[in-house]
Amino acid sequence: MSTDSLKRSRATASTSPKRAASKKRSAEPNAAARSKVTPDVSTKPTLNTDETRVERVTKQERVLTLLGRTDGASIEEIMLATDWQQHSVRGFLAGTVKRKLGFPLTSSKTKEGTRRYRIEKRHAR
């Protein structure tokens, strides 16, 4: 084999236009497969303005309502109302109710031995 024919075979093997085109064509179906499908607008439910909106009650509001009762609330009652664990309830009482909101929080022990927490008077900040 001559040196000219070796150069031509190496050049066509590394920079073949067929291979470059085939790589580009193989990328096109992947790009089409990755395109986002937009949902049909008619399938989305429409909201009527006549319907009344229900206000969302937060867990903080639930706890403050329980603490605002005359007999207050125990940690177990707050745990049931919020689905929090005991340490989360105690942290909420100390950090949010007392420090952030500034409510005077009192605790008392009943004859049964359960501790009940109560807000003396609620004031707006």
Evaluate whether residue 87 is within a structural domain.
yes
Total count of domains within the chain: 1
CATH code, domain carrying 77: 1.10.10
Q: Is 111 left (phi over 0), alpha (psi -120 to 50) or beta?
A: alpha
| pLDDT for 120 | 82
Q: Does the residue 101 lie in any domain?
A: yes
**Domain with 72 in it:** 59-119
Tokens read off for 72: 């207050």
61-70 burial, b at 16+ Cβ within 10 Å, e below that, comes to eebbebbeee
Bridge partners of residue 105, in order along the sequence: 119
pLDDT in tens, 49-90: 566 778 889 999 999 999 999 999 999 999 999 999 999 999
Residue with tokens 């470059």: 20
Q: How much is the pTM? A: 0.54
Amino acid 102 reads: G
Could you tell me if residue 69 is inside a domain? yes
